[in-house]
């Protein structure tokens, strides 16, 4: 199948897609949509930036258009759970494009906003409720929402939800949902816990996988700089100065580190902003809006706050700190090269992060090419470039260290990484 017209979608949806300039489905959409339209539970695995939202959103809206009747007060017909406020808002924005011109309502509930206003909104009932688990449970405990009419459940970025400890929240929410129901679970990676989750909440699911779990998009050029921790700020400034107009997303490990890094960049004349768990929802929304519009060209973020950023114009992702959970590296670099574009992912690796790099390479089954610096013991040889073939993009992050392969030594014993708090 090569266009949406051949997937069996309702005419209103096809009109909405054409109005948005969308004519051809991505591979994950092409495989998942027909199965979801038939009512099957779906376990969808695809790289970030490949169109998972429409893969579940289109069949969901199609089903709801065919269901008669308005939602009763405090009820919802469909529930979508996502780990962060930003991702909830992103999903809702995409769904509202699909439901424009219909009577379907899309509502969101997230933390950091007035719960009184959310209670009033839910009292009217909604067709699709997009929520973070924590705030949804708060509303359930207050008797503000009745989930017994939910016949469609979607878990988006399910692996991240597990990493943030939302499994306990899911166990509280699931028994309140209606039955029978269709459940769709989408993710970019497939940890063991998620396999167990699919067995517990999905019934005879159809597995849709367009790339091996843990694999980055082919159009992302990756490289790593080996350097001491204290040299990272100077290297970041050097990289940013090479292409000052490009949108660059920089990942830091902690909230304090992200804020300190951002303030240092601003003091040095760079157009930067930050998003992390200590920022209010309004501050985070304004920062992302400015970044999307190009008013801010460098956005410093933590993993929790950055999940859900879908900005096609992001040219570069810089891992200022390597993530302590290898799966998060895949999600981080997936913020670039979205919707078929090219992008570049640059990582900094201090000696104490060698074990983290080793974990990342084991997950992705590649050696990240070296752009500069010397890896410990000088092992391996590989030229900088893409994961598989293709020329490097011109600009930042080019080779400067002889093209060694980043084969880090076995790490010293580390403390078990702390799980990040939910945004």
Instruction: Reduce the DSSP state of residue 221 to 3 states and report it.
Output: strand
Cα–Cα distance for residue pair 307/86, rounded to 1 Å:
7
DSSP state of 72: P
Lowest mean pLDDT of 188-202, 207-221, 408-422, name the range. 408-422
pLDDT band at 218 (very low <50, low <70, confident <90, very high): low
pLDDT in tens, 21-73: 888 898 899 999 999 999 999 999 877 667 889 999 999 999 999 998 999 99
pLDDT at residue 394 in the model: 36
The domain 220-386 is placed in CATH, from the list 3.40.50.300, 3.90.79.10, 1.10.3470.10, 3.30.70.980, at 3.40.50.300
pTM (two decimals): 0.68
Q: Do domains 4-209 and 220-386 have the same CATH topology?
A: yes
**Mean pLDDT in residue range 179-205:** 84
> Do strands 220-226 and 385-386 pair parallel, antiparallel, or not at all (unpaired)?
antiparallel
Taking all residues of the chain, what is their mean pLDDT, rounded to a whole number?
A: 84
Domain boundaries of the chain, sorted by first residue: 4-209, 220-386
Q: Alpha helices of 213-270 — where are they, by DSSP H?
A: 232-242, 255-267
Phi-psi region of 234 (alpha: psi -120 to 50; beta: other; left: phi over 0): alpha
The CATH number of 4-209 is: 3.40.50.300
Lowest mean pLDDT of 12-21, 30-39, 172-181, 307-316, name the range. 307-316
pLDDT in tens, 123-144: 999 999 999 999 999 999 999 9
What residue has token string 């009577």? 103
């Amino acid at each position: 199948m090569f266009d949406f017209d051949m997937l069996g979608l309702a005419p209103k949806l096809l009109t909405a897609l054409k109005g948005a300039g969308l004519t051809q489905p991505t591979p994950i959409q092409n495989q998942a949509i027909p199965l979801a339209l038939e009512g099957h539970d779906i376990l969808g695995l695809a790289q970030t930036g490949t169109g998972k939202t429409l893969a579940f959103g289109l069949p969901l809206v199609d089903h709801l258009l065919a269901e008669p009747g308005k939602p009763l007060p405090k009820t919802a017909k469909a529930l979508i759970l996502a780990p962060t406020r930003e991702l909830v808002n992103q999903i809702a924005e995409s769904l509202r494009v699909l439901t424009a011109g219909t009577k379907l309502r899309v509502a969101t509930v997230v933390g950091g906003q007035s719960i009184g206003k959310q209670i009033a909104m839910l009292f009217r009932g909604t067709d699709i409720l997009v929520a973070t688990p924590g705030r949804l449970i708060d509303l359930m405990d207050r008797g503000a929402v009745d989930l017994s009419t939910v016949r469609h459940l979607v878990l988006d970025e399910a692996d991240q939800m597990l990493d943030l400890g939302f499994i306990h929240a899911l166990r509280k929410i699931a028994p309140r949902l209606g039955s029978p129901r269709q459940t769709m679970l989408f993710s970019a990676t497939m940890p063991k816990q998620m396999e167990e989750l699919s067995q517990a909440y999905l019934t005879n699911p159809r597995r849709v996988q367009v790339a091996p779990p843990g694999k980055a998009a082919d159009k992302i050029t990756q490289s790593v700089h080996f350097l001491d921790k204290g040299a990272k700020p100077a290297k970041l400034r050097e990289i940013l100065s090479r292409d000052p107009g490009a949108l660059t997303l920089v990942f830091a490990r902690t909230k304090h580190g992200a804020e300190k890094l951002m303030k240092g960049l601003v003091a040095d004349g760079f157009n930067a902003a930050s998003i992390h768990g200590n920022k209010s929802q309004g501050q985070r929304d304004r920062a992302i809006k400015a970044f999307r519009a190009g008013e801010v060209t460098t956005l410093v973020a933590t993993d929790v706050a950055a999940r859900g950023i879908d900005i096609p114009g992001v040219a570069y992702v810089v891992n200022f700190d390597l993530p302590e959970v290898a799966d998060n590296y895949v999600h981080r670099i997936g913020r670039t090269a979205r919707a078929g574009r090219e992008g570049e992912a640059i990582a900094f690796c201090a000696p104490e992060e060698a074990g983290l790099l080793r974990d990342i390479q084991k997950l992705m089954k590649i050696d990240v090419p070296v752009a500069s610096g010397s890896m410990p013991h000088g092992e391996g040889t590989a030229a900088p470039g893409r994961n598989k073939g293709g020329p490097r993009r011109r600009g930042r992050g080019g080779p400067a260290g002889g093209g060694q392969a980043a084969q880090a030594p076995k790490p010293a014993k580390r403390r078990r990484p702390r799980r990040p708090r939910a945004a």
